[in-house]
Structure 1
Amino acid sequence: MKKVMRNNAIRNCFQSDQPCTGIWGCHFLTVPPPARPEDKETTFVSVYREAKNKDILSCPSFNPGKIDTILDSLFE
């Protein structure tokens, strides 16, 4: 039941004009940022997997290419 409610919330967000927020460009993604540069790859996989599992990849406002950009900027 909880998953259905979350999916409805995500679908409603897709259809709204709300700006995307959150560290990964979507407030529904909850993966914490990596603590070390060595964890960037693992973090990317975790964020991408969570986006896929929550069907966020189909959101027209979500750009998964920005995950790498965000990870790179964390350790400049």
Structure 2
Amino acid sequence: MTDQRWRVEVDRNTCIGSGVCIGTAPDHFTLVDGHSSPNAELVDPDDSVTDAADFCPVEAIRVRLAHTGEVLAPKL
């Protein structure tokens, strides 16, 4: 569904600034003061965003369906 959006959240208290998310989804994340930050809160579906959440070593990234809040990643 092309009109479906995802909400990207980073828990800055958990983030260790490893940069895995930037290496995995460089169009969607940046480092700010040594911590990951999403470039946009709402994004179009993109597998690299869920991969970044799945690969985050401390599970600081959450990707949710914007309209329901259902967690898409990381896979628990």
| Shared fold per TM-score greater than 0.5 | no
Which one has a larger percent helix, Structure 1 or Structure 2?
1
TM-score after normalising by structure 2: 0.29
> Which structure exhibits the higher relative contact order, with contacts defined as CA atoms closer than 8 Å and separated by 6 or more residues?
2
